[in-house]
Amino acid sequence: MKTLNIKVALVVFYHLLLPLSFAQSSPLTVDVANKPGDKWVARPTLTLADVPGASSLKSDSDLSRFGGIASRKEKTTGFFHTAKVDGRWWLVDPEGCLFLQRGMSSVSMLSTSGAKTAWQQKFTDEKNWAEQTTAMLRSYGFNGLGAWTDTERLRAVQTPLTYTRIWNFMSSYGKKRGGTYQKPGHTGYPSDCIFVFDPEFETFCEDFARQLAAGKSDPYLLGHFSDNELPFRADALKNYLSLPDSDPGHQAALTWLRARHGEKATARDIKSADLPLFLEFMVERYFRIVSRAIKRNDPNHLYLGARFHGSVLRFPEVFRAAGPHVDVVSVNYYHAWTPDPERLAMWTREAGKPVIITEWYAKGADSGLANTSGAGWLVKTQRDRGLFYENFTLGLLQSKSCVGWHWFKYIDNDPADTRSDPSNQDANKGILGNRYEPYTPLLESMKRINERAYGLVRYFDKS
């Protein structure tokens, strides 16, 4: 009896500290690994049940047709925009209602024979698939669609979800120019040097962006991603100077270096202080060129950035360079079981813009898939995947910088698809298995958080 009382006292004390030190300790842990074969490590994990008073939080109601809070109005523009209200960043929907996007990435149909057979039995035709999928996502509290989604079919339903588009400006230019190659999850470039200094890149962007004009009047379109996971490396200056002398990137880097250290400077004269400054110079040029092309062809919708990932997330100079040109900073946030509040604050502080998390997930060892591909965590069960969702999103909701998230992704990889990206070959990333069967324990956790997102924001902001 004494042991039980001590445990209860510790949990109560933990709950009292919760609003101030979210996810620092927890009575619940989940076993987590980086990949199959690695040692399992117990990670402290918070759920909705750990939030004091969560049982009294009802599902959000009185919502606009887009999913915003009908009773909390800002300026109405007819399109999505951003606003900072009482110290918290928000998206604002076309009706002027404060809005957080809870989205699903890569909502599209699989192309393998087995998946097609299962799809035919479940949906019969594409219109039915779009309607059922939209209804299913909405029933679990999702109000948006992320990148790589079949927007043409899903937008055609009677009451569509909000959606985003990804255009791949740099990688499309690279395919035309030559020199790119496939890396897991994104395009590779020579020496990790994007072609931002090519004289032809700016003209290409102006021409390429004309296709965005077709959707400029659509109120359900949240905004545009320009690229995915570009290699903004700390040693970019050294990398560009390693390119052939005739390469425009080499020439631009040498000109930049000599403006700082004299007309005879070479790579041997690089100082440590030069590296972040050149990186900021290069990144700013990319965002300036691309944002200008996007806004010229679609001035109505948000520019959501280029989906930062990896080491970039540690570099204030990258966020500082992007900030003046984007409306929202997009981040593919891997290798964090719980969002780092200091890092989220840094992203917004340096950019001066809110953040949307555009990729994150965990894979279940009970799925029957090998789970060797992809950057997400490995956990033991589908329930553990759901607990990760609760833990991660509670951290995001506590942050006053984050305006939404996109789970990666709708449906599991099918190992029979031999043409897939190396990062999408055999992993349990979906809310559905690759025969369109739902992972109910995961979806139940998603529903618990998604349907109370606005109530949780009110709770955290009052704490």
Helices 126-139 and 113-123 cross at an angle (nearest 10°) of 80
Compute the Cα dihedral for 455, 458, 462, 463 and give only its sign: positive
What is the number of other CB atoms lying within 10 angstroms of the CB of residue 453? 22
pTM: 0.94
Asked if residues 379 and 363 have their Cβ atoms less than 8 Å apart, the reply is yes
- Residue 254 burial class via C-beta count within 10 angstroms: exposed 0-12, middle 13-18, buried 19 and up: middle
Asked if residues 330 and 225 have their Cβ atoms less than 8 Å apart, the reply is yes
What is the number of other CB atoms lying within 10 angstroms of the CB of residue 461? 14
Furthest C-alpha separation in the chain:
79
* CA 389 – CA 130 distance, rounded (Å): 25
pLDDT in tens, the chain (463 residues): 333 333 333 333 334 445 444 444 457 999 999 999 999 999 999 999 999 887 789 999 999 999 999 999 999 999 999 999 999 999 999 999 999 999 999 999 999 999 999 999 999 999 999 999 999 999 999 999 999 999 999 999 999 999 999 999 999 999 999 999 998 888 999 999 999 999 999 999 999 999 999 999 999 999 999 999 999 999 999 999 999 999 999 999 999 999 999 999 999 999 999 999 999 999 999 999 999 999 999 999 999 999 999 999 999 999 999 999 999 999 999 999 999 999 999 999 999 999 999 999 999 999 999 999 999 999 999 999 999 999 999 999 999 999 999 999 999 999 999 889 999 999 999 999 999 999 999 999 999 999 999 999 999 999 8
Asked if residues 454 and 69 have their Cβ atoms less than 8 Å apart, the reply is yes
For tokens 């120019």, the residue is 177
Q: Is domain 30-200+212-233+298-462 annotated with CATH 3.40.50.620? A: no
> Tell me, what's the pLDDT at 55?
72
* CA 250 – CA 232 distance, rounded (Å): 16
* CA 17 – CA 25 distance, rounded (Å): 10
> Tell me, what's the pLDDT at 8?
32
End-to-end CA distance of the chain: 32
> Tell me, what's the pLDDT at 9?
36
> Tell me, what's the pLDDT at 270?
98
Q: Mark out the alpha helices in 226-363 (DSSP H runs).
A: 236-241, 248-261, 274-297, 316-322, 341-351
Asked if residues 43 and 29 have their Cβ atoms less than 8 Å apart, the reply is yes
Asked if residues 320 and 281 have their Cβ atoms less than 8 Å apart, the reply is no
